[in-house]
Structure 1
Amino acid sequence: MKSDPKDCLYCQNNETLHNLMIEIAPLSVSRVFLFKEQTYRGRCLVAYKDHVNDLFELSDEERNAFMADVTRVTRAMDKAFHPEKINYGAYSDKLSHLHFHLVPKYVDGPDYGGVFQMNPGKVYLADAEYQEMIEAIKKNL
C-alpha cells in the first residue's frame, strides 16, 4: 500500500507522531526518534527524510546514506544501552513511509530470542528519564 504524504504521520509531523515518540535529532538523510513505549529499553526508529514508500525506490547513493544513518543510530544505542542484540524491523503495511524500528534486546528481557511486539503498551517513563536516554544516544551519535 502506498500512502499519501498528506496522510503520513512522519511527513505531517503531527500529534499522533509526538504521542508515540520523541524526535532525537536529524541525521544526514533521516530523523531518529525514541519510542515513548520502552518495554525494550532504548528502542528507537529511523525515518527517511522524504516520503518514500520502500527501500528499493531509493538510488544506491540514497540507500547507502540511509543505511549509514541506521548504522550510526544502532552504534549509539549499543554504546548507550549495551543490549545483547538489536533487532531491525522494516514494516510498512499500513504506513508506507520508509522507516526502520531499532529494538534493543537483552538476555533476560522481554521477547529475547523471539519477535518484538510493535507496541506492548506496558512501560512508559517520566520526562526526565526520556531526556536521560536521549542525551545518552546523542552523546554517542
Structure 2
Amino acid sequence: MQSDPKQCLYCTNNQTLHDLMIEFAQLSVSRAFLFKEQTYRGRCLVAYKDHVNDLNELSDEDRNAFMADVAKVTSAMQKAFNPEKINYGAYSDKLSHLHFHLAPKYVDGPDYGGVFQMNPGKVYLTDAEYAEMIEKIKANL
C-alpha cells in the first residue's frame, strides 16, 4: 500500500506527529525523533527524509545512508541509556513512509524477551524529562 504524502504525518509534519514524538535531529538522509510514550526508556524513531514505501525503493547509496543514520541513533541510545538490547521495528501496514522504531529493552523491563508494544500508553514524562533524554542522545550522536 502506497500512502499519499499529503496524508502522511511525517511529510506533513502534522499535529498527530507532534502528539506522538519530538524531533531532535536531522541526519544525512533522515529525521530522528524521541517517542513521548516512554515505556521503553529512550525509545526513538528514525524516518527517511522523503516519502518512500520501502528500503527496496532506495538506491544502494541512499539505503546505506539511511541504515547508517539508524545505526548512528542506536549507538547514541546505547551510550545514553545502556539497554541490554535495542529492538528494531519497520512496520508500515497503514503508513507507508519508511521509518524504523528503535525500542531499548532492559533485562528487568517491560516485554524483555518478547516483542515491544507499539504504544502501550503507560509512561509519559515532563517536558524537562524529555529535554534531558534528548540531550543525552544528542551528546552521543
Matching residue of 1:98? 98
Matching residue of 2:33? 33
Supply the distance in 1 between the matched residues of 2:121 and 2:55 (Cα, whole angstroms). 28
Supply the distance in 2 between the matched residues of 1:24 and 1:84 (Cα, whole angstroms). 23
Question: Scaled by the length of structure 1, what TM-score is found?
Answer: 1.00
SS of structure 2 residue aligned to 1:130: helix
SS of structure 2 residue aligned to 1:115: coil
1:58-69 aligned at under 5 Å gives the runs 58-69=58-69
Is 1:43 matched up with 2:55?
no
Compute the displacement of 1:99 (Å): 0.1
Q: Deviations over 1:49-101 (max 9, x none)?
A: 00001110000000000000000000000000000000000000000000000
Supply the distance in 2 between the matched residues of 1:139 and 1:51 (Cα, whole angstroms). 28
Runs of 5+ unmatched residues, structure 1: none
1:124-135 aligned at under 5 Å gives the runs 124-135=124-135
May I ask how many residue pairs the two structures share in their alignment?
Answer: 141
1:1-141 aligned at under 5 Å gives the runs 1-141=1-141
Compute the displacement of 1:36 (Å): 0.1
Supply the distance in 2 between the matched residues of 1:4 and 1:54 (Cα, whole angstroms). 14
Percent identity of equivalent pairs: 86
Question: Scaled by the length of structure 2, what TM-score is found?
Answer: 1.00
Q: Deviations over 1:115-140 (max 9, x none)?
A: 00000000000000000000000000
Supply the distance in 1 between the matched residues of 2:123 and 2:96 (Cα, whole angstroms). 26
Supply the distance in 1 between the matched residues of 2:64 and 2:73 (Cα, whole angstroms). 14
Compute the displacement of 1:105 (Å): 0.1
Supply the distance in 2 between the matched residues of 1:25 and 1:112 (Cα, whole angstroms). 28
SS of structure 2 residue aligned to 1:140: coil
Supply the distance in 1 between the matched residues of 2:94 and 2:2 (Cα, whole angstroms). 9
